[in-house]
């Protein structure tokens, strides 16, 4: 599509669609095994629990419940969300919690209220593509900070902050997408210190923090900041998509008061408020007290899947890829052996069609969409059987690339 002609801003006219979405369109093909999506396993989505609560909501529907609601969110859901945050170690009062249309909206609105067009945002080399897209659409410049298996490399961060002077830093400290990395406590503390010193606002995105397998991750940046007397500006967002259901499109934001005020103004103009039926349903689900047990079940199920994929990769892809065993979240982040060719996203799609196994190449998560010796393999969606078969096909396919 050419940019100069039509009425569309070049920022949007030249933007490419998500390569992951393009790949997911192939996931439904007969016999295809997809390790590509970041979608929960439908079998693990709480259909019965949600149905019961939805029936309860339905019987209580009155004219009043169909009226416009508050931009900040349904008070009862804000209260239940604040309680959840308190259980995770954060200080949070109902009035401080905002309900958003998924944490995606929190990220998007934060980008809009924080990022002056052209301002810099610091990010790791590999990121959740829809967050990068939100930052790009806000006109932000992506500033790359080196990272390793423990997440963002804070020792090298200071030089970046000094040189590029980004105004905001985006981070997923727990089981990041796509890397799966968990940032250790010492790095978190150092990151907060640098944020204060350089006046950088932190956007902490934590969709996966509750999906730990062995032990929970260290305290969130937001919690550590509160414990230190809140010297840093930290906007913390998390989502109900991974722990309850994506279809509800509900997330929450805990941010300093001036940021929260701006977010409410931005949300008034963006969608007025998030859907009331979804908010009522989620409120009923949380009130039922079943979330903790559901989370326990999810952790076990995903841990089993992670271990099945890791085991099968060790069996079938030995010498072809390297990876760390996932400690939570939904992803294995594979480093491709140096004897394998660097391939474009299109080439990986062709590979997937040929070998009947889809995985997302690293380029999709990189800042400039360049080919990388990386693959993201998601264990969340497929069955254990399909994870094993997927690893087998992947090994066979990768071996054929060596030849």
Among residues 167 and 187, whose Cβ is nearest to its own copies?
167
- Smallest distance from the beta carbon of 43 to its own copies, in angstroms? 6
Order the strands of the 331-336 sheet from edge to edge.
321-322, 331-336, 374-378, 360-361
Strand 374-378 and strand 360-361: the pairing is antiparallel
Give me the least distance between CB of 17 and its own copies, in Å please: 6
E strand or H helix at 22 = helix 19-27
> Cα(326)–Cα(174) distance, rounded to whole angstroms?
11
3-class DSSP state of 330: coil
Q: Residue 28 or residue 214: which is nearer to its own copies going by CB?
A: 28
Closest of 246, 242, 391, 371 to residue 314, by C-alpha: 391
User: Judged by CB, which is closer to its own copies: 1, or 297?
Assistant: 1
Q: Which is nearer to its own copies, 31 or 257 (CB)?
A: 257
Query: Measured from the CB atom, is 143 or 334 closer to its own copies?
Result: 143
Residue given tokens 């066979």 in the structure block? 396
Q: What share of the chain is helix, strand, coil (3-state, %, to 5)?
A: 50, 15, 40
Tell me how far CA of residue 305 lies from CA of 23, 57, 98, 154, in angstroms: 22, 34, 33, 32
Q: Tell me how far apart the alpha carbons of residues 326 and 310 are, in angstroms, rounded to a whole number.
A: 8
Spatial distance between the Cα atoms of 265 and 117, rounded to a whole number of angstroms:
19
Q: Which of 388, 358, 264, 371 is nearest to 33 (CA)?
A: 358
Work out how close the CB of 9 gets to its own copies at its nearest, in angstroms, rounded to a whole number: 5
Q: Which is nearer to its own copies, 63 or 214 (CB)?
A: 63
Nearer to its own copies, 273 or 393 (CB): 273
Nearest-approach distance from CB 278 to its own copies, in angstroms: 4
Distance CA(349)–CA(24), nearest Å, equals: 10
Respond yes or no on whether the N-terminal peptide bond of residue 178 is cis (omega within 30° of 0): yes
Shortest Å distance, C-beta 202 to its own copies = 10
Q: Which is nearer to its own copies, 201 or 398 (CB)?
A: 201
Q: Which two tokens stand for residue 195?
A: 């944020």
CB of 86 to its own copies, least distance (A): 25
Q: Which is nearer to its own copies, 270 or 347 (CB)?
A: 270
Sign of CA dihedral 325, 329, 332, 333: negative
Closest separation between CB of residue 342 and its own copies, Å? 27
The span from the CA of 220 to the CA of 259, in Å, is 19
Instruction: Please tell me the distance from the alpha carbon of residue 243 to that of residue 382, in angstroms, as a whole number.
Output: 17
Least distance in angstroms from the C-beta of 292 to its own copies: 19
By beta-carbon proximity to its own copies, the closer residue of 278 and 394 is: 278
Token digits of residue 141:
């410049």
Residues 90 and 222 sit within 8 Å (Cβ to Cβ):
yes
Please report how close the Cβ of residue 51 comes to its own copies at its closest, in angstroms: 4
Burial of 315-335, coded b for 16+ CB within 10 Å and e otherwise, reads: ebbeebbebbebbbbbbbbbe
User: Least distance in Å: CB of 169 to its own copies?
Assistant: 11
């Amino acid at each position: 599509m050419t940019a100069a002609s039509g009425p569309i801003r070049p920022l949007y006219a030249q933007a490419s669609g998500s390569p992951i979405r393009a790949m997911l369109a192939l996931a439904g093909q007969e016999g295809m095994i997809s390790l590509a999506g970041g979608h929960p396993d439908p079998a693990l989505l709480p259909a019965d629990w949600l149905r019961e609560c939805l029936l309860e909501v339905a019987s209580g529907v009155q004219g009043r419940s169909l009226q416009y609601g508050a931009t900040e969110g349904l008070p009862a859901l804000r209260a239940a969300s604040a309680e959840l945050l308190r259980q995770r170690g954060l200080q949070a009062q109902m009035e401080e919690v905002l309900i958003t249309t998924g944490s995606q909206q929190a990220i998007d609105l934060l980008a809009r209220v924080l990022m002056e067009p052209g301002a810099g945002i610091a990010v790791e080399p590999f990121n959740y593509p829809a967050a990068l897209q939100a930052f790009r659409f806000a006109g932000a410049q992506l500033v790359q900070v080196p990272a390793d298996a423990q997440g963002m490399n804070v020792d090298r961060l200071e030089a970046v902050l000094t040189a590029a002077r980004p105004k905001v830093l985006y981070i997923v400290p727990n089981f990041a997408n796509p890397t799966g990395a968990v940032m250790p406590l010492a790095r978190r503390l150092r990151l907060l210190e640098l944020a204060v010193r350089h006046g950088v606002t932190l956007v902490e995105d934590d969709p996966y923090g509750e999906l730990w397998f062995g032990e929970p991750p260290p305290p969130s940046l937001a919690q550590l900041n509160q414990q230190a007397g809140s010297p840093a500006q930290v906007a913390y967002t998390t989502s109900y998509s991974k722990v309850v259901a994506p279809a509800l499109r509900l997330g929450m934001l805990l941010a300093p008061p001036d940021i929260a005020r701006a977010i409410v103004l931005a949300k008034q103009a963006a969608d007025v408020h998030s859907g009331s039926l979804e908010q009522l349903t989620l409120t009923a689900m949380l009130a039922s007290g079943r979330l903790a047990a559901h989370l326990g079940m999810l952790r076990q199920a995903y841990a089993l899947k992670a271990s099945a994929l890791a085991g099968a990769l060790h069996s079938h892809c030995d010498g072809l890829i390297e990876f760390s065993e996932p400690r939570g979240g939904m992803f294995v982040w594979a480093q491709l052996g140096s004897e394998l060719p660097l391939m474009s996203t299109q080439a990986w799609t062709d590979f997937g069609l040929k070998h009947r196994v889809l995985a997302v190449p690293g380029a999709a998560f990189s800042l400039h969409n360049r080919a990388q010796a990386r693959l993201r393999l998601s264990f969340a969606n497929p069955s254990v059987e399909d994870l094993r078969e997927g690893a087998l096909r992947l090994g066979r396919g990768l071996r054929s690339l060596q030849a």
